Amino acid sequence: MRILSAKDYEQMSRKAADILSAQIILKPDSVLGLATGSSPVGTYQLLIDRYRRGELDFSRCRTVNLDEYVGLDDSSDQSYAYFMRKNLFDQINIDPANTHIPSGINPDTDGECSRYDALIRSLGGIDLQLLGIGNNGHIGFNEPDDCFAKGTHQIRLAEATIQANKRFFAKEEDVPRFAYTMGIRDIMQAGRVLMIASGARKAAIVKEAFFGPVTPRVPASILQLHKDFTLVADEAALSAL
Ligand code: GLP
């Protein structure tokens, strides 16, 4: 486990964008595992800037996103598919056919989960997985549980997650209660894992996840066991250490 400290959100985003850029330059057909939320927006903007300056080429990259809300189709402006198009895909030269996100509207839950796991396998696995962290330690939408979930699965969002994510919706009732998420096995099998964390509201969970015991009650804690895990966090997120 490597921890890189950054002064603030902007510097955290720059350090994360540097790691992602190096991955894309060294392996132009990389499989990138991507995340949503507020944390990666600055990182994605820097990747867009570098693409516009001719420093990055996404034409051979493939992407798999961590998760999607159940019940939202990809045209819904609250869906993670929409988020990814708006914050990254529509502004770089990636082939939309090479971007993958679980389908929130597939009513066949088992079918969607096995389709997504088979897709990740068919791409040869994830080279670099980008992650944020939920206030309760969730990664993707792997919520605190009694055991670590393996593959892609459908979960009921924890109350803490509904509370944290309601800021993106007009009202709390609009927050979907279920989501599809890659499992812990999918994330742990990635060649490299890069987590970004910013702000004082992440300080307690960063300490618990990476300086406490490895437990499914704090899903991110399993990353302590990953062979190539880097946390890039700003001073506020590291302030409890
Ligand atoms: C959501 C996403 C996670 C993300 C988390 C933290 O629940 N499913 O992938 O890491 O929120 O989001 P933020 O970066 O906005 O704090």
Cβ 235 vs Cβ 6: under 8 Å: yes
Backbone angles phi, psi at 178, to 5 degrees: -130, 155
Strand locations in 103-152 (E): 128-131
Mutate to test the pocket of ligand 1, among 9, 12, 39, 166 (most ligand atoms within 8 A of CB): 39
Chain segment 17-29, per-residue pLDDT in tens: 999 999 999 999 9
3-class SS at 45? Answer: helix
Across all residues in the chain, what is the average pLDDT?
97
Q: Which atom of ligand 1 is nearest to the CA of 161?
A: 7
Q: What per-residue confidence (pLDDT) applies to 149?
A: 85
CA of 128 to the centre of ligand 1 (A): 18
CA of 132 to the centre of ligand 1 (A): 5
Question: pTM, whole model, 2 decimals?
Answer: 0.97
Structure token pair of residue 113: 């989960």
Chain segment 118-148, per-residue pLDDT in tens: 999 999 999 999 999 999 999 999 999 999 9
**Residues 196, 241, 140, CA angle at the centre, nearest 5°?**
30
Cβ 207 vs Cβ 237: under 8 Å: no
Is the confidence at residue 241, as pLDDT, over 90? Answer: yes
Q: Give the pairing of strands 99-100 and 62-65.
A: parallel
Q: Which atom of ligand 1 is nearest to the CA of 66?
A: 9
